[in-house]
Amino acid sequence: MDLTRAGITLAVLIGVLGLLVFTSLGADAVLLAGLAVVVVTGVVDTRTAISGFSNEGMLTVAALFVVAAGVRQTGAMSRVAGLLLGRSQRTRVALARLLFPVAAMSSLLNNTPIVAALLPAVREWARRHEKPASKLLIPLSYAAILGGTVTVIGTSTNLVVTGLIQKNLASTPGLSPIGVFDISPIGATVAIIGCLVLVAFGPWLLPDRRPGISHTDDPRQYTSEFLVAAKGPLVGATIEEAGLRHLPGAFLAELGRGTAVLPAVEPTTRLEAGDRLVFVGPREAVIDLQRIAGIAPAPNQTFQLDAPTRERSLVEAVVAPGNPLCGRSIREGGFRKQFHAVVIAAARDGHRLGGRIGDIVLEPGDVLLLECATSWVEDQRNRRDFYLVSEVPDSARFRHDRAFISLVILVAMVLAAATELTTMFRASVVAAAALVLTGCLTGTEARRSVELTVLVAIASAFGLGEAIRASGLDRALSESIISLGASSPYSGMVAMYVATALLTELVTNNAAAALMFPFGLSLAEQLGASPMPYCVTVMFAASASFSTPIGYQTNLMVYGPGGYRFTDFLRIGIPMQIAVGFANCLLIPWVFPF
């Protein structure tokens, strides 16, 4: 071991962890700065340091962001998340409904695409039900990690260890191959215990990281009008069943049926084809309404736009005093023909506008939500009909007609990787391309879906992991911990678990498994015990990444979207480590005796 390089690496790690714990700096900036220090000080060369930016795992996550966006834009994953989470008013009920199915899916499918696909849907569900996403996203990552340990194919870490076992069969007495379900008695039990810990203590230990000002605090109360589609899924459903009663900050102001208007709508009222629904609420509520299958913006002029759905966007604009339609109604003035856009909703001084959208008489200062072609904002820059024209982010209508296609592509991707027909990277790249080519999302949406901050954090973490290995710090640390507890086969196994679990929080789980595996074989030989429990210990401990966001990529994926701080992972992760570690150390010798 090079003491100088190891000392520098240790100092950098302490500095990185300190900044992550005690400041609000982003993980990407802190990790990248740490990587720059180890390069400048010569701990690793530049090529090794930046290898994380071409790492297949990091690029796989990038492709999976596009896949997740494609599935989300069709509304398919929102339906899945809605079925899993229901309309739970209690956080513990929502967690129970989410975590156990996620762990079950992750036992047979790679956990990274599961988290990538569910993450935006869970965030959307939390927003619509006015729940903090920070209470759900760390548990989502942990449940996927736990599920991955149930079978050999559940996570790449298990495959790394089984590959190392296969490689050492001839040279190591007592070593035997592990079947797909040989570890299931341990993994399934631990996954259940871990999910129960999350359900019981997650709502208490995890913080509420919602912003101080919510979107429901928007003083602008838009009036919007929608029609129930004649052949849609909402015909015959009640207002409650259609999900039109629990939109955050919004309410159904009236229901028009033929010439009759019902101003007080009961939740048990059944919808009929052609019903006119008038809602009042903030901008985000209008976006949510646009994405519900079975209703469409009224009046029918919406369907006369030349641009296809995927080439439209939602724009917010303020009517200027010089607008030629001031003093005229939207319908009489021929708004769509005049401006090649459709008025979806309108607001005036934060007050509700009564009547139908087409009957609203425009006044200067009215704020309109318009559906238009994606080039409309640029076209209006040199005109004086509107002020403050801006595209509403993340407002595209769900393409429900592509939902089945997107699910088929997602399932095909996962199965291709799970059956080792191809690698996860190749499968995800092909799936991302297929989603764009089939119209599930546009190229612009695909580019916007890639979270660069997450990718920089993952790549930088890989680079720091290389620095730890190159300096010999990892080997010194693991040998020291193992030597403290190797007095008996069982205490040696416990020390092995602790060393691997600690190491996997600092480097990638696969790197931790590959590094600790030879120590496990050596320890078993020294103690005259079977090597199998030590190999399985490495397998489970390397996946036990709960205490930091940098140990596993799904933790990094939820770090930013959940608004978390580094200490949030410590607060929930340490109890998880204790519970999961205790269960593993009890069960491993029972299934794989010494």
Outline where 107-136 has alpha helix (H). 111-128
Please say if the pLDDT value at position 502 is more than 80: yes
Whole-angstrom distance, CA of residue 331 vs CA of residue 407:
40
Pairing of strands 367-373, 341-347: antiparallel
**In the predicted model, what is the mean pLDDT of residues 539-550?**
88
Please say if the pLDDT value at position 532 is more than 60: yes
How long is the chain? 594
Indicate the domain borders of the chain: 3-209+453-591, 221-281+294-391
Please say if the pLDDT value at position 254 is more than 90: no
In terms of CATH architecture, what is 221-281+294-391?
Answer: 2-Layer Sandwich (3.30)
AA letter at 457: A
Position 537 confidence tier, pLDDT thresholds 50, 70, 90: very high
Residue-wise pLDDT tens digits, 230-249 = 877 888 888 887 877 767 66
> How would you label 291-317 residue by residue, b for 16+ Cβ within 10 Å and e otherwise?
bbbbbbbbbebbeebeeeebebbbbbb
**In 367-460, beta strands by DSSP E:** 367-373, 386-391
Residue-wise pLDDT tens digits, 455-500 = 887 778 778 777 877 887 766 766 676 666 666 788 888 988 988 8
Q: Which of 347-351, 438-442, 487-491 has the lowest mean pLDDT?
A: 347-351
Contact between residue 395 and residue 287 where contact means Cβ atoms under 8 Å apart = yes
Whole-angstrom distance, CA of residue 552 vs CA of residue 157:
11
Query: pLDDT value at position 214?
Result: 46
Pairing of strands 367-373, 312-319: antiparallel
Cα–Cα–Cα angle for 34, 40, 44, rounded to 5 degrees: 80
